[in-house]
Amino acid sequence: MSVSDAITQRVETKLSQPDSKKKDDDSGKAMGGKTSRSIFVHNWLRTSHVAITGMVYSGPITHYWYQILECIVTVENRVLGLACRLLFDSIIFSPVTITGYFTVRTFLERKGLVALRDKLQTKLKPALFAAWSFWPPVNIFNFSLVPLQFRVLYSNIMALVWTGYLSFVNQKKESKRSD
């Protein structure tokens, strides 16, 4: 999870920089021939929060979820079983894990219940809709072709992208406040 945050921080820095065409225009000349460019400074505290969240919450809950899901869904028809797993994953697992992610991150950031409530009110719904777009195709492959003992590994690989997104969403409002 921390790798995805490190990548996300780099992407955020790149996206916040002016276009390369703008760097070469007259504004650079006004600064003595030098162009302004953001210098990347890694936020290690943020990355440690993402790593801790993964170790104490996201990793364990994902590990046990796949085992529980196999016990819950006992349908012998492969297509129906896949549909049930996707439905349960979307309806039960996504809201629980996203809420938990934002909760753990908020407490690691030493913010209180009011901040958590505000974060959930503003960020949970968009994150859920994003999860419902991202995870079903990932899980169709996972639930239909990946053996049970490798599902968490596959899910963790795919979570590099997802966690980067969640880290970006979690940080988004704080970045606006600091402006």
Q: pLDDT under 70 in the chain at which residues? A: 19-38, 173-179
Q: What is the pLDDT of residues 47-62, one digit of tens each?
A: 999 999 999 999 899 8
pTM of the model: 0.79
Q: What is the pLDDT of residue 179?
A: 39
Tokens describing residue 132 = 């419902």
Would you state the structure tokens that stand for residue 82, as one six-digit string? 């896949």
The closest of 154, 165, 105, 159 to 130, measured between CA atoms, is 165
